[in-house]
């Protein structure tokens, strides 16, 4: 992560064992919003969630063990470098196309 870079928007994706879908979710967001920070809080996943997120171009903040969705959100809000923060589920249930409407 570039330590001092600021963004207008951070997309925060709390994630736990989402290796099968998180890469696709991140790439879809990045294609539509290349200038946004995409921040994944890996909440102690036991699969390759962190590696998939990093390979797809997200900044990743790892938890050492599963602390729950609320803790992942709090960590993400503390780490986010965007003026605005938008939270989405990492499993792709939200459409990246809807971000612009918000």
Which ranges of the chain would DSSP assign to H, the alpha helix? 22-32, 49-55, 69-79
Asked if residue 72 is part of any domain, the answer here is no
How much is the pTM? Answer: 0.92
Q: In what order do the strands lie in the sheet with 82-87?
A: 59-63, 37-43, 7-15, 82-87
Asked if residue 71 is part of any domain, the answer here is no
Asked if residue 51 is part of any domain, the answer here is yes
Please report the pLDDT score of residue 43 as a whole number.
98
Structural domain tally of the chain?
Answer: 1
Asked if residue 26 is part of any domain, the answer here is yes
Domain span holding position 24? 11-35+45-65+90-96
Asked if residue 85 is part of any domain, the answer here is no
Asked if residue 5 is part of any domain, the answer here is no
Please report the pLDDT score of residue 99 as a whole number.
86
Asked if residue 77 is part of any domain, the answer here is no
Positions in the chain short of pLDDT 50: none
For residue range 57-70, list pLDDT tens digits in order.
999 999 999 999 99
């Amino acid at each position: 992560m570039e330590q001092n870079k600021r963004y207008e928007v951070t997309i925060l994706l709390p994630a736990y064992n989402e290796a099968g879908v998180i890469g696709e979710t991140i790439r879809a967001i990045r294609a539509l919003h290349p200038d946004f920070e995409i921040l994944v809080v890996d909440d102690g996943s036991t699969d390759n969630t962190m590696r998939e997120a990093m390979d797809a171009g997200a900044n990743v903040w790892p938890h050492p063990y599963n602390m729950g969705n609320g803790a992942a959100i709090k960590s993400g809000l503390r780490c986010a470098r965007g003026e605005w923060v938008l939270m989405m589920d990492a499993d792709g249930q939200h459409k990246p196309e809807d971000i612009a409407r918000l």
